[in-house]
């Protein structure tokens, strides 16, 4: 585990999920805690070596790869955990995430560390926007990926972007990056275009001084999926069939986890297109089908 210094007080730990640290007087505020207990142990040893004290964890959102180290670190240090109101429910009760993704009690293959972290205790509910109480850090609302996700900016102008933006490589690999709300994702892209920072750190790609290309690629990906769904809805089609078509389009390698992540993303697009009055549900022969108004070209 490598600790990289960015400014006098701000550091980050690169990894499958990039983590942030803000350090003042040897007291650490950690921004997200990684995939699992193993990462939590590594963080704890890293802080011990420097004689730093973990005072707080700010979770940008409640997905398991962002809260996986919470339980171990809180047990070892009794640190505070801060999160927005809706995300805190899932941090306290991580079994709710696979329940939400499956829509019912999840089968065993979904009850794993990739979707269900160990429970930890949120000690302070924070707002989506403004200075985070008890810290010099600032929150920004970055909704769309999950329910009430935030970005976190340090006083020395480093902005941690959580899962609001994905790399071109990730989009090329998976096709559909996880979304729970398309309207809010598009609003987040518009907000990000207005934000300034010395350095931007997305959770799953390299830090950068300029996020304009990332915003463009992510927005184009959302718009492309919308067009594909409208094209397929030229004839009545079920959600399951749409998922199959998009999985084949993007050549997604399926597992139980990947299927439910694709399922929630396609569902988010259907909700968005329905609210825009571009598609509507149709019920026949015991099936819920989706149909659009006109034939469109891709």
Q: Would you list the DSSP string of the chain?
A: ---EE-SSSEEEE-SSS-EEEEEETTEEEEE---SSHHHHHHHHHHHHHHT-EEEEEE-S---HHHHTTHHHHHHHH--EEEEEHHHHHHHH-TTHHHHHHHTSSPPGGGSSTTT-PPP----EEE-SSEEPTTSS-EEEE-TTSSSS-EEEE-TTSEEEEETS---HHHHHHHSS---S-HHHHHHHHHHHHH---SEEEETTS--BS--HHHHHHHHHHHHHHHHHHHHHTTS-EEHHHHHHHHHHHHTPPP-HHHHHHHHHHHHHHHHHHHHTTSEEEEEETTEEEEEESS----
Domains and CATH numbers, the chain: 4-163 (3.60.15.10), 225-292 (1.10.10.10)
User: Mean pLDDT, 10 residues at a time, over the chain (298 residues)?
Assistant: 95 97 97 96 97 98 98 98 98 97 96 96 98 97 97 98 96 93 98 97 97 97 97 96 96 94 97 96 95 70
What is the model's pLDDT at position 294?
A: 65
What is the model's pLDDT at position 293?
A: 72
Contact between 33 and 15 (Cβ < 8 Å): no
């Amino acid at each position: 585990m490598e600790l990289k210094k960015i400014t006098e007080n701000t550091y980050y730990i690169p990894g499958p999920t990039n983590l942030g640290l803000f350090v003042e007087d040897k007291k650490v505020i950690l921004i997200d805690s990684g995939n699992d207990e193993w990462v939590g142990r590594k963080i704890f040893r890293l802080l011990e070596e420097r004689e730093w004290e973990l005072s707080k964890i700010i979770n940008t959102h409640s997905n398991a790869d962002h809260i996986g180290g919470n339980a171990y670190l809180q047990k070892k240090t009794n640190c505070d955990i801060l999160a927005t109101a809706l995300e805190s429910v899932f941090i306290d009760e991580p079994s709710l995430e696979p329940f939400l993704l499956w829509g019912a009690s999840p089968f065993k293959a979904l009850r794993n560390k990739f979707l269900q972290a160990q429970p930890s205790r949120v000690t302070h509910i924070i707002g989506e926007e403004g200075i985070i109480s008890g810290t010099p850090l600032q929150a920004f609302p970055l909704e769309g990926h999950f329910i009430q996700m935030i970005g976190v900016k340090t006083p020395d102008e480093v902005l941690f972007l959580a899962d609001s933006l994905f790399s071109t490589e990730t989009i090329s690999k998976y096709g559909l990056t996880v979304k729970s709300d398309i309207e809010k994702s598009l609003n987040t892209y518009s907000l990000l275009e207005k934000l300034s920072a010395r350095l931007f750190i997305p959770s799953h790609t390299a830090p950068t001084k300029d996020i304009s290309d990332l915003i463009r690629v992510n927005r184009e990906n959302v718009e492309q999926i919308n067009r594909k769904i409208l094209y397929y809805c030229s004839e009545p089609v079920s959600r399951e069939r749409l998922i199959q078509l998009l999985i084949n389009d993007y050549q997604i390698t399926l597992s139980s986890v990947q299927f439910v992540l694709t399922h929630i993303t396609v569902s988010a697009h259907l909700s968005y297109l329905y609210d825009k009055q571009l598609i509507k549900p149709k019920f026949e022969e015991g099936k819920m089908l989706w149909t659009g108004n006109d034939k469109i070209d891709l």
